[in-house]
Structure 1
Amino acid sequence: MRSKEIHMPRPSLNADIAMLASGRALFAEHGCVGLSVRAVAEHAGVNPGLFHYHFGSKDQFLRTVLQSLYEEMFEQLSGAAHVAGAPLQRLRGVLILIGQFLLEHGPQVGRIWSDAGNGVPVAVAFVQNNAPRHLDLVTGLLEEADQAGELAPLAPMQRMAFLMGAVAAPILVVGRLTGLPLGGALPAGQLVSDVLSSEAIEARVDLALMALRIQKGTIQ
């Protein structure tokens, strides 16, 4: 007599993809500490048991969420950094992509840095492993431009700080301001159009690169 075969129920198809999407959606509000397995499962509409089946632990889930988000950005940055063209032209493309990424994912980025500053291990490890990667791309392009005689004399870290201050800081700061009741003094609509638009990002990048050049001019 043949024994009956026992068929284990198959995990729901695409449950892991749904949970990763929910992790991205919920991360900015809850962060590494506050994001719960139950909240992710409920948001994704899946059984909480599937969370551990696919990811094993909350920390592994967080690492996967954050790393997948970063790799999407870094792939674009790397492509822009290695296309044919003058160093400053390629740097312009990289900086605009960084600005656009922050425009779309500023709340998540802000939460990562906040968690890292508070010593949350997953966030600390993420920043340590990944922040140098895109900064190295920018530094490398600045070095190429410097060797080509395109930049005015300035300490390398001063150049980096200036560029990040021009590109990233306005997006992160103004992005927070738009959620505050500022009244008519700083109209949210004007903040968005003047600071948080794609056109505004490109304008700041061009102004920043112009300031670093030996000769004045626009980056074409």
Structure 2
Amino acid sequence: MPRPSLHVDQAMLASGRALYARHGCAGLSVRIVAEHAGVNPSLFHYHFGRKEQFLRVLLQSLYEEMFEQLSGAARLPGPPLQRLRGVLLSVGGFLRCHGAEVGRIWADAGQGEAVAMAFVRDNAPRHLHLVTALLEEAERGGELRPMPALQRMVFLMGAVVAPVLVAGRLQALELGAALPADRLEDEVVSDAAIAVRADMAIAALCGREG
């Protein structure tokens, strides 16, 4: 049986991405998505069945986009810490563009939304394992000073990644002179700022001065 409309599923997923950060799992209704995509709601059910399946596909497509970038950086030639730097820059850049969606996923999971909770449970270990593997490789090569593995991971995420998410929230608040948006952009979320923090964090893990 031919599909009733070409690329309708992709149009609805694009609308879901555009709307998810504002509405979350609970508020992202079939009607809202269909209206935004300009399609009949019956096509939503044809392509995705229930709303929960649409949300699963939506969140997974966002994650796979990020993980493809991270795994690509991890596979590049070079020593492990150089590849780790590339991974950190990739995740920082991704969160600069999609921090609102990622923040909403964690908020939904924290509020007990089943789809978001399952998504985090199934996917968080993937990128954490990727970073952990690079750190372990560097440790075997004698490049890192002794430190518990979880402490290393938390330090890296807190130093390099978390500021991008926090800055995005602060920019949305429009705090004016207290935290001007241009300074947040230049000093926290720009490629250059992310690279500075990545270099300082890796230097600290190695026991060097940045």
TM-score of the superposed pair, with normalisation by structure 1? 0.92
SS at match of 2:47: helix
The 2-side partners of 1:79 and 1:9 are apart by: 36
Gap runs ≥5 in structure 1:
1-7
Letter in 2 for 1:169: A
Matched, 1:133 2:126: yes
Runs ≥4 residues deviating over 4 A: none
What's the counterpart of residue 153 of structure 1?
146
SS of the aligned residue for 1:178 comes to helix
The CA RMSD measured in Å over matched residues stands at: 1.3
Q: In the alignment, residue 74 of structure 2 is paired with which amino acid?
A: A
1:181 Cα deviation from its structure 2 partner:
3.7
Count of aligned pairs:
210
Are residues 194 and 58 of structure 1, via their aligned partners in 2, closer, same or farther at CA, if it must alter by over 3 Å?
A: same
Aligned mates of 1:155, 1:68 — CA distance in 2: 33
In structure 2, distance between residues paired with 1:175 and 1:210 = 26
Q: Quote how far apart the aligned CAs of 1:194 are.
A: 1.0
Equivalent pair of 2:156/2:201 in contact (CA under 8 Å) = yes
Cα distance, 1:216 vs. partner? 4.1
- Residue 39 of structure 1 corresponds to 32
Aligned residue among 7, 30, 45 for 2:23:
30
CA contact (8 A) 2:12 2:33 kept: yes
Q: Deviations over 1:70-107 (max 9, x none)?
A: 11111121121122210100101111101011111000
Map residues 49-128 of structure 1 onto 2, 5 A cutoff.
49-128=42-121
Q: What is the distance in 2 between the residues matched to 1:75 and 1:174?
A: 24
Q: Percent of pairs identical after alignment?
A: 68
Which of the pair is proportionally richer in helix? 2
Q: Letter of the 1:81 partner, please give it.
A: A
**CA 1:111–1:9: 2 relative to 1, 3 Å:** same
Is this contact kept in 1: 2:174–2:181, CA < 8 A?
no
Q: How much has 1:215 moved relative to structure 2?
A: 3.9
* 1-structure distance, mates of 2:128, 2:3: 43
Q: 1:39 to 1:80 in 2, by over 3 A?
A: same
- Give the Cα separation in 1 of the matches to 2:141 and 2:208: 13
Aligned partner letter, 1:122: V
Distance 1:95 1:183 in 2: 29
Which residue number in structure 2 is paired with residue 208 of structure 1? 201
Q: Which runs of 5+ in 2 are unaligned?
A: none
The aligned residue for residue 180 of structure 1 is 173
Post-superposition shift, 1:26? 0.3
Tell me if 1:48 matches 2:25. Answer: no
Q: 2:135 aligns with which of 131, 142, 148?
A: 142
Query: Is the contact between residue 150 and residue 214 of structure 1 (CA under 8 Å) also seen in structure 2?
Result: no
SS of 1:140's partner is: helix
Distance 1:182-1:13 versus aligned 2 partners, 3 A rule: same
